[in-house]
Amino acid sequence: MCIVVDINTLAPVFSEGCVRNPDFFAIKEWINAGKGFLVYGGTKYKKELGKKRYLRLIRQMKDAGRAVPIRDDVVDSMEATLLTKTKGMKCDDQHIIALLGASWCPLLCSADLRSFDYIKDRSLFPSGMPQVRIYTSARNADLLKRMSRNMLKNLA
């Protein structure tokens, strides 16, 4: 099962050293255990990764089979469409919605409460795509188990 990690939660999810964020460490463990993988892509998302100095980590994860790139042109095209659809709204995460839609990824890790109404708006996603679930803290850890089980059922 895949997950999109919003830039605002990259540090708590992938923090190194002895400090572990109890709300987000489960995601890192889930990915490292091979139960899930990170999807990333799009010009704006990668630019934000560069600002936070996470490009190297993502490249290492990709080499280890724990991260999968989504073509930038596909994400960017969806983002352009979303910018038109959301014109006049207070949405500033079209690139995240586009990445979720382009990858058909049903799981987002984010702490951006302002974006949640848009993430839950199914009209902004491709028709037939599953509802996106949002991981915000350790109380959502069951999502990781549930999403992994659903993936296995769909493969059977």
Q: How confident is the model at residue 148 (pLDDT cuts 50, 70, 90)?
A: low
Q: 71 lies in a domain? A: yes
Q: 147 lies in a domain? A: yes
Q: 70 lies in a domain? A: yes
Q: 156 lies in a domain? A: no
Q: So what's the pLDDT on residue 52?
A: 76
Each residue of 21-40: pLDDT tens digit?
Answer: 888 888 999 999 988 999 99
Sign of CA dihedral 94, 14, 111, 54: negative
Q: 34 lies in a domain? A: yes
Nearest alpha carbon to residue 112 among 83, 90, 129: 90
Mean pLDDT, residues 126-143: 93
Mean pLDDT, residues 42-64: 90
User: Can you read off the two tokens belonging to residue 19?
Assistant: 């400090």
Question: C-alpha 87: how far from its chain's center?
Answer: 23
Domain count, the chain: 1
Question: Residue 6: what are its φ and ψ, rounded to 5°?
Answer: -65, 150
Q: 36 lies in a domain? A: yes
Q: How confident is the model at residue 19 (pLDDT cuts 50, 70, 90)?
A: low
Question: C-alpha 13: how far from its chain's center?
Answer: 12
Give the CATH number of the domain where residue 65 resides: 3.40.50
Output the average pLDDT for the chain: 88
Residue 149 in this model has a pLDDT that exceeds 50: no
Q: How confident is the model at residue 50 (pLDDT cuts 50, 70, 90)?
A: confident
List the domain range (segments joined by +) for residue 40.
2-151
Each residue of 89-98: pLDDT tens digit?
Answer: 888 999 999 9
Q: 35 lies in a domain? A: yes
